Structures are given as structure tokens and as C-alpha cells.
Structure 1
């Protein structure tokens, strides 16, 4: 059986991604009526469209020598196509077009007064709709067969069974019972009753399917010709809206089934408005008024985006981290600006890279520790600045440490690299090379005692001198490169010969001792993690130890010799960040870490840059997987990909507290969340709870709040355990029990893993070093409860709070070249990502 929770997750995912997919590019017979908008209220760049809104001022300010065409639009209707520096209508905008070819193309549309022009500010597109408007088209692709195993480079149609039962390596398009494309992306998709799923595998076939499919297109299948035709017609305009409306309504129903904490009155109001817009659009289609239908479609999609938050249940406690690679041109002002931007974007934690480009981001004695500070920083302590400023904002700081990977072939400072200073320490491949992969990475040898002591001494220096909240071990593994195996230096080989009587050089993957050889190497990494953990906890009992790990624990001895599952079960680390990079891998890959971590450690799922729509879905998937949060790689890609605008006002619009930075406040917020769940359950199903159950849970939440007002999260463990035991012994509404047990179990995990007492002791002993964490703790105590209504209160954030000295930690503000240059840019991005 597919659980109701999974169904609602899928519905929420499609609601999130629906408005983000424009209709497909031009097909045969299709005319162009939509154009990308370059900028808004800015300098009009050549060969581009700039839109000017009333926020720009009374006129556009476009100058005569710009040789621009201006189209003045009021209430979505053309007022004028003459002149420049036009007045901007209060209820409209002006589109300024520069560039002779682009101007000629748009002038060829022969727009006149009264024609329709729509500016979609979300997708940054402008639509020109006149009497000749005919955007309809068809695209046809071939498919291979029905309901069979998906083999390489095939497209299969599934119309039988509950799901497609496919693996994570393809892509699928779901077609609903009315024949419209309802979902794009994913694998192992639910097969809708009366509908079907089109499933592709292989790069070319996936590209073929994705190029043809778009949300809302009508789909027809010709079994004889084995073709699938995707059609954009007038029917598609309202068909897409109907699908979106149905799923919005279904999301509300499923939320009720799961007792999700939503404002159901507002949800119903939004549903009614969407239905009204849909009806208006259908009426326009019946009257052959395509322009009118498109206007209503635009209003519908704008409103449904604004209503995403209404049908999303936001956790009160969730790690929202981002990996951050500082620049060697950073100044304190740049640090401050970056931290504020991260805070405004909805994040509560950063993982700051301590070593990059072979050098450190902080001053260090190179004679003693070998590492040198990046000369470009000129002595500026970037790490100290980030810690201070992040703590001002209540942001948790993890020191992201690349452990064994100490340099790479394109480093700016090869003479400063440890790999240059100590080449005898480098791990060696079976082929004899010490260079790893395309980036020519240089890794230290985990088996060498001097490497272990070198790293431990350096890490001790950091722990003793910086008020980090967490220490994150990255590249804590043997290197991996296709066709290479590493660990074949003379020292490691001799150790294995002494233990097993065989030279690893003579072994192959089919040798009886191969697994022992893999475990032998992995043991050195695990021993280091164990020793570092013991040292760190002695120096800093308050610090959280984490590791960036390969997400598939089944590959432990095949690639990386990284026994992350052991580190979790043995308690060597407090957190794991599985790097689940990919568009459809979160449900599978997060499960390994979540299961191994259990209640002993936190699971923060690593995600990366695959677009705003994919990220929204992945946030939902991490919550569905019962992970404790997520981390995005990386902040520079987040900014470049314009995630800030697409995420801060939607998926991260309601603030959440980190479970680890200040567990006491997090536990208090979770207690308030539990109280809200009681009220929601009573609202949806008054008979789900008896008064005894309600009092038990409410009293427990109040006890937690009272205890955290005067003490620490750790003081609440017994209170929570007692309540949880009692609740588990009572029989009542199954779904209500599942929800409350889950909420209270989360509270127990927060309390059990809390290090707040140790943190208080650390800061009391080191007050001259960093008092900001205590300041943010006192301030956040005034806002322990995280409610939906606070999410839009931008007046309590930003510079005004900074001027007061204590920004509130629980409030977050809602809201190219082509050809060779593009190829170079793409290669650069890929290489940078591979370094992670």
C-alpha cells in the first residue's frame, strides 16, 4: 500500500513544480509570442527586453540614443507603441526592446492598441497576444512498448499496476485520466487510475521525452505507429489549470487526513478563487477569446504560486544548511553582507570551507602546522569574522574541513600546498600515480601515522582557537577515480603483507582477500574518525562532529573505503551529511543515513544545483524521509541559480530552528508545534482525541516549555520519555497517534542529543572569545514559538534589527554568452562541483 503521507508528498511536489515549467520551445508550425525579459527597472541592455514598472518612477528614463522600441501596457492592454521615455501606467508596465533584429521581430507582430500583453514576473517572460495569436502546436515522439522492464535507451508506457517500479536512473512523465501531462520528473511513479506514465531511460531518450513534454499538454498515443503526440491547444490552457486546481484541492484533503498544521479557512478561500479563475478561463475558451483565457491563466498561476505556502506544513525545527566557500577577496563588510543574505534566504546553518586552494582561510603558523593562510587574504581572519557574524544572526557554524584531499593540480599556490611540502605523504594508486581524477587531486595517505598526527595537531589548533558549533569532516575517505585503486604505497602494502601474507598488488576484485584488503584500508579512516572524535570531545564537549559521506552505504568497500554506517552506530559522529546529489535520488539515498543514524545522530541530506523546481521537491522528500534537515551545495551556486527569489518566499518562507545550535530553544519551538497539532487534530476530527490524551500531550508540552524557560533541553529527557511511553500504551485514532508520537519522538531526540549545558560552560570559560551565541540565545527565547503568521513580518528583519544589535533568529524575510564561452563556463562549473 502507498501511504497517505507519500501521496500528499507527491501532490505537494507537483503543486510546487507546476508553475515553474513553461510550455515547450518552438515546434514546427508554432509562432513565437513569448520572449524572455532580461531585467526589470534597470539599464536596458542591447538585444534584450527590459520591463519598467511603477516602482521605477514616473517614466522609463530610456534615452533617445538607445534606439529602443517601447510598448506601453495598462491593465494587460497595449496603450501605445510610440516614443521613448514613456509614462509608466499605475496599473501596468512598459516593455523596452533594444537591438535591431529583436525590434524588427516584435514590430513584425503588428501590435496595436487594445492587444494583450502579459508580463510574467515570476518566469521573467512577456507574452504578446494579438488577433493573429496562434501558439498551438504538436510534437510527436516514438515509444518502444507497454508495461515491460525499462532497458537502456527505451521509452516505455506503463498503464497497469500501482507504480512503474523503476530505478532512479531515468525520468518519467505522468498523464492523468483526462489525457493531460500532470507531472514531469521522478521514477517509480504512481500510475493514475485511467491515466498512464511515460518512462524513459538513457540520455538521448530522456532528452527526447523532456523536449516534447510540458505540463498541461494533451497527450494521445497511437499504438499502431507506436507514437506519442503532445499537443498544445486551447484545451491545454484550461486543461493545465484544471489539473493544478484538482491537485490543490487534493492537497487540502490529504493534509486533513494527515492532520497537517494549515490554515484551512484560507486554503478553502484560495481554492474557491482558483476555481473562479478556472471558470473564467473556460468561458473565454468557449467564446474563442484566447487572449482572455491566457490572462486568466496567468492570474491563476500567479495566485497558485502565492498560495503554495497555504498547503505546506512547515516544521518548527529543521536544519537548513548551506556549504560556503569564502573568497580570498573577502572583507568584513563582504562577510557581513553574505551572512545577512544567507539569513534572509531562510537558512539557519552554514558549513564554511576551512581549506581551499591548498591554503587556509585563517592565519596559521605554517612552520608548525604546514598549512599557510591564503596570501590573498592578507592576514584577514575570515573564519573568525564568519563565526562572529553568524552568531549575531543565530546561525550555526560548521567548520567544513577537507581532510585527506589537501590540494589539486590547478591550485594557485602549489608551493604552499602540503602535497608539495610532503610528497611522501601522498596516497598512491596501483598504477603509481598520486594524481586523482580530472582535477588531479592530491590525497594524504590515511595509513601513515605521521599523517594522522599532522591532521590531529592541526585540528586541535582550530578547536582550541575558534568557537565553531560543529566540525565537519569532508574527503574523509580514500580517493576514487574510474580505473584506479588507491592505497598501494610501500608502507601500506607491507602492513597488509604482515597481516594477510599477500601483496595487494597481486589482488584483483575476484581474489578471496579482496574484501579484506578493502576493509583493511577502510579501518585506517575509521580509526582516524574515532581518534578525532575522542580528541574533539575532550577539547570541546559542546561541539557537534559530522562527516560528509557517500550516500549509498552499499558501496562502502567498492569506492571510498568509508564506513559511515559504523561511525553513526558507534557514535563517532553526531551528524551525517550524505551527499545525495542527483534529481531523483533523495528517497533512496537518504534512507541509508536516516536508518543508521536513528535517534543517535542527526541526518542532514546534501543536495545540489539542479534548479529551483527540483530543490523544492527535494526539500519535501527530505522531510518525507524523516531526515532532520538538508544542506545545499553551494552558496555561490545558490546565488547564481537565482534560488533566493524562488525559495525564500515559498519552501523556506516559514522559519525553522536548528535542532543542534540551540537545542533548548529548538525544543521549546517543538513543544509549541505539538500544541498546534493538538488544536489541528481537534479541528479536523473532534472525536480523534479523548480529553485524557489531549491533557497528557498538552501538559507535556507545557512542562517542556516551563523547563526550557529556566533550564536546558537535557533537563527534559525524562519528562518526554514518560509521556511517550504513556502515549504508546493508549489506543486511539491511528493517524492522530502516529502524528503525536512522531512529534514527541522528535522532541526526545532534540533533548537527548542536546549539548547546550556544555556550550554554556564553554562560553562562560571563553567569554572574551565569543559571547554572541549567548546573545542570540537570550534574544531567541522571546520567539521560541514559530508560527505561520510571523513568516511575512519583514519589518522585524534586516538592517533595522542589526542596528539594534540582536537580530531575531526566528524570523526570515519572505521573499550569457553562447558557443565556446558557454561551454567553458559549463566545464568550469562541472569541475568545481567535482571538487566537492
Structure 2
């Protein structure tokens, strides 16, 4: 007989609870079952299929798990190695697993999964943490669900989903929603409180019915009811999230649609989720999605094969603009082919790609490939083919395609990706040693770079030479964009750590920001925990100053639960981003879409880079409303009144033409931000979010003055 479990509230408050990694099908891109009963029937059919995987180690050490070391006997974080699945118990001797961000973890209490996602998890007394890297992380993500049973025997892990798991999961989700409502209310966050209360009451009733069905042995009914209760509780939790009316909300889309009708359906889903910027992959693996005269003139295949017969880019732009969404052309700059291209159902061919097929002499050459015939893929980025950023012919061709896109299409921006060299560490895997690059560097510095060692004085010169090849190309694109379409945005997808990007790939994005070569930065934060993406955002914000920053998080492609994805978005906001971006649409589940629609993106938002003065004016109204509603609870009446007067004045000043109004408004906003630090007795979370928003408005006002 199932046991009625009492869930510790402290555990629930800290838990990152799954809303998408369910044994119930995710239905991404497919029709949902017509009823909760149908969902229960489908789920019940999976109850007899436990999933098993060998453990690489339990409580690993350098001695017991050499696969978790660097070869010199030093443990990787958590002593977890490539593709390993590790179990950590309290006997590990550390309160946490110590793992890095590149994996997946679940927490197990009383033999059932209670938390999914994140890294460096706290090991519970009497419980354990399962942690996977690489292939093991994918397995763990695919087979874990809240409430599932976990057993370990003879070094083998088994995860079993029984009927009880569905009810436990619903209970956990409801407790999480209650905790989130309390936190939101305590900080005077604006959210639809009546809707949340109604959903919580409904989920409680349905959970009771599910428990009764389970006690009576009606497993299919229990699963159906618990599934409904979980969905209702999840919706309640989502609705407690902050939703800002002014922020960037980007998403990367790889187009697989081959008809206007399919494009419209995708854009409906994008709109429903609440995005306001689409980065549409327009040039990738060497192909354009549109019929390209520039490609044809260079002898390159003129359009992705499965998209011939119409111009998808025009349709994408029309459908985006019809919905008030910006459409930016996302381009792979120097990465032009992939061994796996034939497997992605987008009509491309595996291998070097059409550019290098037409011009094999343009290939970037890795040190270890010098002397080989024909283009070779990267060692450190396996299967990826690149063109040489130093070659004038390469640079001219890529710019010609960009020019065509900017001139012939009503794009809102051009988004540069792979704007770098291939990963060039270690030494044997460095780029680029094409005949052209070797000759050009020798003509400038008198030495063939192929003869240089890392200890040679000219090695740093060679690094700077490669860095300048990338920076000068970005500069040339900026000059072209400003000449042709100064009103559109030029943006870049860059590595969050500026030092790592520079040392390994010669990508000096910090310099690009200083020199105003980019309007917008989407720094890529690959971590799986909210803390990690928040920390990456803080690093980038410190470096970019007032530049627009939309931190890219990877919840969809990492398979993160919807609530973890939402917590990442909140962490990015709290770390002073101007917006967020998700990678990528093609992995976005229906559960994640609904979480965005009900939660972080429920309020229609204006992207600040489009018009910073308008953005500042639009953002001030909600701050004033929040101050006034919080008066006497999260902030004293006197402080709220004084701040509201100043911010209302600032809003009026923004209606005046010229820099005088902007300057005066900025002074008023700055005064409120300074005073907020001295608010006596104000709730910490409230003060923090208000001052964060005022810093954001101040940045936009400075942008408007430039």
C-alpha cells in the first residue's frame, strides 16, 4: 500500500522542481492528449519500464576513480570525469558534490527524487546526489522525474516511476508553489495573486482525490488526477514570477520550416511564449536560407536545398513584424561546415559545406593538419570546418552575403555568431596555418608562424595578429552596417568569460564594446544553475558598462526543468542584465513555453535597444506603481512617497525634447537609487529589485544621450 509521505518544508523551499522532465510525454511539437485521463493512461503504460545505468563511482576519490582525474592524479571538480555517472552520499566527506556546471544532478531523499537540475548540490543526510557529465548527464536528464524511485545494487543505478511518483511530484510542486508565493508576496512582487490562490486551492483538491484513488488501487485514475494537479500547481508557481514590461527576450531559431504555413505556426508559438527578439539562423553550415545572388556570384550553392522554391527569410520577417517581434539575421561567420550536417533534417550535406566545396583554398588550417590535402575539421571542435579569417577573399565573400541581407531584407539586426577563430589550444590544435596566413604573417614579421613555439617572443605577436584579424573584420562589418542601415542593431554571441574567449579563440569582445562596434551583446552562459548564469552576467556587466546585455542561457538545449530555466532568467535579471535570451527554440518544450507564457514573459515587453529613451519612460511607470502598492509594507510610506514623486517627475521630463530632459530625468532616477540604500526597515528583496531597475533605467538614459 502506498505510504503518505510528509515532505519537509525546508527541502521544498530550496528544491528546483521539475516541470518538463516528466515520465508523462512532453508533447513538444505534437498534439496533447485530449484529457487528463488520456495523459494518465499514457503515463501508466510506462510504469513497468525502469531505466538502469552503471555507476562510474560512489563517493569518488583520485584513487578509486582515476577517470575523474586530469591524468596527473588531480581530481576534476567533484572527481567526476567525462561521461561519468557518480553517486555522492554523506560518506563523501564534503557537504556538497563539488562539481562544476557542465553536467546534471538530482537529489534523492527517502529513496525518491526530490530535486532535479543544477550542480554542486548539497548532499542530504540519509540521502544522496546523482551527478552525470556528458552522455551520463543526458541519460540522467532523460530518465529522471520528481518522485521517481531510486535504487542502487551492485554498482548499477535504477530509476523506476510508479504511480506513487506522480502523486509525490504533485505534492512537491504544490509546496514549491506555496513557497514561491510567500517569497513573492514578502518582497511585494507584482503578480496575479487571485489566480495563484485559485490554482493552489484547485491543486490541493485534486491531490486529495489522487491520494484517494491511489489508496483504492485505481492507479490510472491516480496518475491522471496527479498529472492535472501537478500542471495546476506548476501554473501557480509560474505566475508568482516577476515579469518586466521592458526587457529584451531573445530566442535563437534554426529554421526547419519549408512552407509559409509552418513558419506562421512557429511564430505563433514564439509569440505565445512572450519573446520579442528572434535570432533567425540565416547563414549556417555555409548555406543561406534565402536565394543568394552573392553566393551565386562566388560559385557557392545559392540556397539551402530543402528551402528552394520560395524565400523563407521574407516570410519570417513578415510574420515576426506582424506580431511586433524583431527579426535579426543570425549568421555563422567563420564556421562553415559540419560532419553532422546531414543529420539535422535541414537539407544540408555533411562535410566541409558549400563554401569550402567551391573554394577549398579558403579553409582554415590547424597546425596538426599542415601538409594535408583539402579542408580538415577541427580537433577541439570535432567535425567543424572553418574558413580562414585572415584571407581577403574570405572576408569579402562573407561581407557580400551580409551586405545582401542588410540591403535586400527588412531585418531589425544582424547577429554575429562564430565570430572568432576555432578553439586554438592546446598548441598542436592551434589555427591558422594556411599558406596565406603563413605568408602574410611572414611578410609582416619576418617569421613563418609555423616555426614558432609558445615560448618564442613572437608567439604573443602571432596571437595579437590573429586577434586583430577578428576585430578588424567586426569593425568592417560595423562600418558597412552603419553605411547601409544605421537604424538596425549589430550584435554578437560571445563567450561570457572575456579572458577565455580571447586566449582560446582570439575573440576580444570587450574591445569591440569599447570601440562601439556592437550595439548588443548576448553573452553565452552555459551553466545549468541559476547561480552560475548570474555570476557570468555580473562579470559581463562589470566589463561592458552601459552596453545592452542580454545574457544567453541554455535551459532548453541542456534539458533543464522549466522551473530551473525560470530561476536562471531571474538570476540574470538580478545580476543587472537588460534582458535574457534562450538557446534554443528547437529544443524548447511545450512545458517551457507555457512556463514563460504564465511566468517571466507573461507581460508584453519592449526591447530597450530599440529606443532607450522610450524604454526608460516605459519602465518608470511600473516602478512607481510597485512603490505605491508596497507603501507601508515593504517600504515606509514616507520613503515610497518621496521616491514616487521623483520618478513621476523623471517620467514627465522624458517627454521633453533634447538632452536637457534626459539629463534631468537621469538625475532624478539616480537620486532615488541613492536614497534607496538608506531606506530604513525596507524589505531587502524589494529594495534590491527596485534599485536594480533604477540602475537599468539609468543605463538606458545614458545610452539615449549618446
TM-score normalized by the length of structure 1 = 0.65
| Partner residue in 2 for 1:741 | 691
| Partner residue in 1 for 2:185 | 256
Matched, 1:216 2:147: yes
How many pairs align?
Answer: 652
Matches within 5 A, 1:349-368: 349-356=277-284, 357-359=286-288, 361-362=290-291, 364=293
Residue from 753, 761, 765 that aligns with 2:703 = 753
Cα deviation, residue 487, structure 1: 1.5
Whether the 8 Å CA contact 2:329–2:414 is kept in 1: the answer is: yes
Residue from 185, 188, 197 that aligns with 2:117 = 185
Cα deviation, residue 741, structure 1: 0.9
Residue from 226, 233, 240 that aligns with 1:297 = 226
- Between 702-711 and 651-660, report the one with greater CA deviation: 702-711
**C-alpha distance 334-291 of structure 1, shift in aligned 2 (>3 A):** closer
| Partner residue in 2 for 1:118 | 37
**C-alpha distance 440-474 of structure 1, shift in aligned 2 (>3 A):** same
**C-alpha distance 341-436 of structure 1, shift in aligned 2 (>3 A):** same
- Provide the rounded CA distance (Å) in 1 between the counterparts of 2:302 and 2:98: 52
Residue from 505, 516, 520 that aligns with 2:450 = 505
Q: Deviations over 1:702-750 (max 9, x none)?
A: 3455456676999545413432234314511244332211111222233
| Partner residue in 1 for 2:276 | 348
Matched, 1:562 2:507: yes
| Partner residue in 2 for 1:435 | 376
**C-alpha distance 421-303 of structure 1, shift in aligned 2 (>3 A):** closer
Matched, 1:486 2:418: no
**C-alpha distance 415-633 of structure 1, shift in aligned 2 (>3 A):** closer
Matched, 1:401 2:331: yes
Larger radius of gyration: 1
Matches within 5 A, 1:306-321: 306-321=235-250
- Provide the rounded CA distance (Å) in 2 between the counterparts of 1:212 and 1:414: 33
- Provide the rounded CA distance (Å) in 2 between the counterparts of 1:426 and 1:136: 49
Unpaired runs of 5+ in structure 1? 1-6, 24-33, 42-50, 54-92, 94-116, 758-836
Whether the 8 Å CA contact 2:247–2:605 is kept in 1: the answer is: yes
Cα deviation, residue 303, structure 1: 2.0
Cα deviation, residue 198, structure 1: 1.0
| Partner residue in 2 for 1:537 | 482
Residue from 138, 141, 145 that aligns with 2:59 = 145
| Partner residue in 2 for 1:623 | 570
Residue from 504, 521, 526 that aligns with 2:466 = 521
**C-alpha distance 164-677 of structure 1, shift in aligned 2 (>3 A):** farther
Residue from 590, 607, 620 that aligns with 1:658 = 607
- Provide the rounded CA distance (Å) in 1 between the counterparts of 2:198 and 2:358: 67
Cα deviation, residue 694, structure 1: 1.9
| Partner residue in 2 for 1:471 | 414
| Partner residue in 2 for 1:168 | 101
| Partner residue in 2 for 1:678 | 627
- Provide the rounded CA distance (Å) in 2 between the counterparts of 1:524 and 1:532: 13
- Provide the rounded CA distance (Å) in 1 between the counterparts of 2:525 and 2:338: 24
Matches within 5 A, 1:763-802: none
- Provide the rounded CA distance (Å) in 2 between the counterparts of 1:446 and 1:275: 60
Matched, 1:575 2:516: no
**C-alpha distance 602-292 of structure 1, shift in aligned 2 (>3 A):** closer
Q: Deviations over 1:502-560 (max 9, x none)?
A: 43212345656544432321121012212332443354332221112234434335532
Which of structures 1 and 2 has the larger relative contact order (alpha carbons within 8 angstroms, sep 6+)? 2
| Partner residue in 2 for 1:610 | 557
Whether the 8 Å CA contact 1:371–1:416 is kept in 2: the answer is: no
Cα deviation, residue 187, structure 1: 0.4
- Provide the rounded CA distance (Å) in 2 between the counterparts of 1:697 and 1:138: 57
**RMSD in angstroms over aligned alpha carbons?**
4.8
- Provide the rounded CA distance (Å) in 2 between the counterparts of 1:204 and 1:334: 32
- Provide the rounded CA distance (Å) in 2 between the counterparts of 1:138 and 1:402: 38
Unpaired runs of 5+ in structure 2? 1-8, 63-77, 342-347
Residue from 235, 240, 251 that aligns with 1:322 = 251
Whether the 8 Å CA contact 1:575–1:604 is kept in 2: the answer is: no
- Provide the rounded CA distance (Å) in 2 between the counterparts of 1:9 and 1:599: 39
TM-score normalized by the length of structure 2 = 0.76
Whether the 8 Å CA contact 2:252–2:278 is kept in 1: the answer is: yes
Whether the 8 Å CA contact 1:425–1:445 is kept in 2: the answer is: yes
Residue from 124, 131, 144 that aligns with 1:200 = 131
Whether the 8 Å CA contact 1:145–1:157 is kept in 2: the answer is: yes
Whether the 8 Å CA contact 2:519–2:547 is kept in 1: the answer is: yes
SS at match of 1:625: helix
- Between 537-546 and 607-616, report the one with greater CA deviation: 607-616
SS at match of 1:166: coil
Whether the 8 Å CA contact 1:241–1:297 is kept in 2: the answer is: yes
| Partner residue in 1 for 2:548 | 601
Cα deviation, residue 251, structure 1: 1.4
| Partner residue in 1 for 2:16 | 14
Whether the 8 Å CA contact 1:163–1:188 is kept in 2: the answer is: yes
